[in-house]
Structure 1
Amino acid sequence: MIVTIGNTKGGVGKTTLAVQVALTRALAGRDVWLIDGDRQGTAQTAVAIRAEAGRKPGVACSQYADGPVLRAQVQQQGRKFDDIIIDAGGRDSTALRAALVLSDVLLVPFQPRSVDVWALGDISALVEEARSLRDGLRAYAVLNCADPGSASTDNADAAAALADHPQLAHLDAPVRRRKAFANAVGQGLSVDELAPRDAKACEELAALVRTVFEGQDAVILQSR
């Protein structure tokens, strides 16, 4: 399964989410390839820190910020892996456009801020374009760095604003603003591996991953 975590808006926490999703799948026994499609290379740095520390399981990671190269590499090597997670840069790039055409799922993280909600129109247009080239792309928007309070009106207002963007389905598995996520990525870890353990962060990440992959995992279990 190929999952792109991307948004044309920067600063929404997509790299942290991409690394966490990739590590969660690897810890579940999946053979994972994390592709860093951002020229900054932050995801690749996190995986390198993990490798240097000798943490297991390892995660394969490559950096392809050029769209044609990303597309060619996935087409050539993608079958070697169970899951491919693509961290696409926070702008309208050739890498993001290539990833959308290749992916089964697009996960669009956005924060409960007006500027993030306003920017959803740009990624929605790219989703429409990708679907005109390839059928089957499932696109979800998920609140990331959401306000910790479960009754936050900002969270609810941001989720409600998705009604203006029918290209994006609301994934009701918010990831809230917690230091554990940033601390974990800085050490090349999943929040499940971080000590002390933040149970709420772990629960939120597990819910997100379960929701994104539940259909695929059900098929895998039935085939065994």
Structure 2
Amino acid sequence: MVISFNSIKGGVGKSTMATTFAAWLASKGQDVLLVDGDDQETASDFTAWREQTLGQTGYTLVNMTGANLRKQVEAMKPKYDHIIIDTGGRDTTSQRAALIVADVSMIPFAPRSFDLWTINKVITLIDEIQSIRSNPLKIYTFLSRADIKSADNREVAEALSSFPELTYLPYPISNRKAFSNTAGIGLAVFEAEQPDLKAVAEIENLFNHVLYGNHATTSA
């Protein structure tokens, strides 16, 4: 499966989720390719720290940008169980190429009004991509960097659920220090010496749904 993490706004935790998903799949014994399609190269930096911390990464990393990303990913699909693509936080050629070649697009939204304002631009981009694909792209949205307890979470979730072009997943990723603390040394939250079990439960629920259509039994 090719899973692309997309956004047209930075700061929503897209790269954190992409790298965490790659590490999570690798921990399950899957052969994983992580594609860094972002000019900021956050996934590459994470992987460099990961190799320094662990001595190995558990997955293969490649940097691909521009229109060639599509052809290169298509050529590499048979070699891996899963391919995770991290794209930039804006509408770029790389992001469009990723959306064309992916099976699934994961679009995180932070529960802030100025983040939700971008949704019409996202819908326009998705409509353009769907119109040129031979098979429909599965689009998932979810809350990222969500407040632990806030009415904003509910309001943004309701807004995202109202768009038929998108499938909203009710498995929010909270704004927990565990994510930034572990990412800073190239680890996923479940790899910490003393993991934040609530953070781990959140990613288990989200990722299991994407792969299998259900969520883990772990509760937050």
TM-score (norm 1): 0.91
1:171 match: 169
In the alignment, residue 60 of structure 2 is paired with which amino acid?
Answer: A
1:123 match: 122
2:195 match: 197
2:209 match: 211
How many residue pairs are counted as aligned between the two chains?
Answer: 213
On the 8 A contact 2:108/2:142 being kept in 1, the answer is yes
Q: For 1:192-211, what per-residue CA distance to the aligned partner results, in whole angstroms no more than 9, with x for missing partners?
A: 11122100000001101101
On the 8 A contact 1:120/1:165 being kept in 2, the answer is no
2:85 match: 86
RMSD of aligned alpha carbons: 1.5
What is the rounded CA distance, in whole Å, between the counterparts of 2:31 and 2:119 in structure 1?
32
On the 8 A contact 2:27/2:58 being kept in 1, the answer is no
Shifted more, 205-214 versus 186-195: the winner is: 186-195
Percent sequence identity over matched residues? 41
What is the rounded CA distance, in whole Å, between the counterparts of 1:86 and 1:191 in structure 2?
19
1:49 match: 49
On the 8 A contact 2:171/2:202 being kept in 1, the answer is yes
SS class of match (1:192)? helix
What is the rounded CA distance, in whole Å, between the counterparts of 1:79 and 1:122 in structure 2?
33
In the alignment, residue 194 of structure 1 is paired with which amino acid?
Answer: A
On the 8 A contact 2:47/2:57 being kept in 1, the answer is no
What is the rounded CA distance, in whole Å, between the counterparts of 2:151 and 2:105 in structure 1?
26
2:107 match: 108
Deviation at 1:57, TM superposition (A): 5.3
Q: For 1:52-106, what per-residue CA distance to the aligned partner results, in whole angstroms no more than 9, with x for missing partners?
A: 233455211111121x221121122221110011111000000110011111111
Deviation at 1:163, TM superposition (A): 4.3
Deviant stretches of 4+, over 6 Å: none
2:16 pairs with 1:16 = yes
In the alignment, residue 47 of structure 2 is paired with which amino acid?
Answer: V
Unaligned segments of structure 2, at least 5 residues: 215-220
Deviation at 1:108, TM superposition (A): 0.4
TM-score (norm 2): 0.92
